């Protein structure tokens, strides 16, 4: 079976509003255009996964059961919008921990590739931080930086292939580049 191209997405600041240590499933708020963006990517033949650093877990700010429920609800909401998110990968480690799963390391992307038979060379990592961009590059994928929260200027990491204001614009750019 041939390997599939994917778009692996960060969660906070990419799909949902970054509320910093979201621990309440009822507070999930989707960013504008995300459902349309993921439908476009789906229609272009990409499978979709989420990779999210979650330092709120070891800080005691996010309960693992709530994290699982948040991911279940996000997956269900996208499914109701016609979009299948294959899996959620999280790294519940502190920001100073160099664990292979914690971005900028590629562990979550490599895990998604193993689980789903992904072709990382034909895939994209999309997020709002340069650590997302770097995780994509370390996994052998292309990367997209969203918004203005983080900048490729003065970053120790290589710049993204695409820098877009939002996920919908990024989706159109990804599709245009193949």
Whole-number Å distance between alpha carbons of 129 and 37: 19
The one catalytic residue in 12, 128, 132, 150 is: 12
Instruction: State yes or no: is 10 an active-site residue.
Output: yes
Angle (deg, nearest 10), helices 107-116 and 130-139: 50
Tell which residue, 62, 34, 22, 41, has the closest CA to residue 173.
41
**Cα 102 versus chain centre, distance:** 12
The one catalytic residue in 10, 128, 132, 150 is: 10
Instruction: Estimate the share of the chain in helix, then strand, then coil, as percent rounded to the nearest 5.
Output: 35, 20, 45
SS3 90: strand
Q: Are 40 and 33 in contact (CB under 8 A)?
A: no
Instruction: State yes or no: is 158 an active-site residue.
Output: no
Residues belonging to the active site: 10, 12
């Amino acid at each position: 079976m041939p390997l599939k191209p994917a778009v692996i997405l960060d969660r906070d600041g990419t799909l949902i509003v970054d509320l910093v240590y979201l621990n309440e499933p009822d507070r999930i708020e989707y960013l504008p255009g995300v459902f349309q963006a993921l439908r476009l990517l789906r229609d272009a033949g990409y499978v979709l996964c989420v990779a999210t650093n979650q330092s709120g877990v070891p800080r005691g700010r996010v309960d693992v059961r709530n994290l699982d429920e948040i991911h279940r609800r996000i997956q269900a909401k996208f499914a109701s919008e016609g979009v299948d998110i294959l899996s959620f990968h999280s790294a519940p480690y502190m920001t100073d921990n160099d664990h292979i799963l914690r971005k900028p390391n590629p562990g979550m992307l490599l895990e998604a590739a193993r689980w789903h038979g992904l072709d990382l060379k034909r895939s994209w990592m999309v997020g709002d931080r340069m650590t997302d961009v770097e995780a994509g590059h370390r996994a052998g994928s292309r990367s997209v930086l969203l918004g203005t929260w983080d900048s490729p200027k003065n970053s120790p990491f290589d710049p993204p292939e695409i820098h877009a204001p939002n996920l919908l614009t990024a989706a159109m750019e990804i599709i245009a580049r193949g």
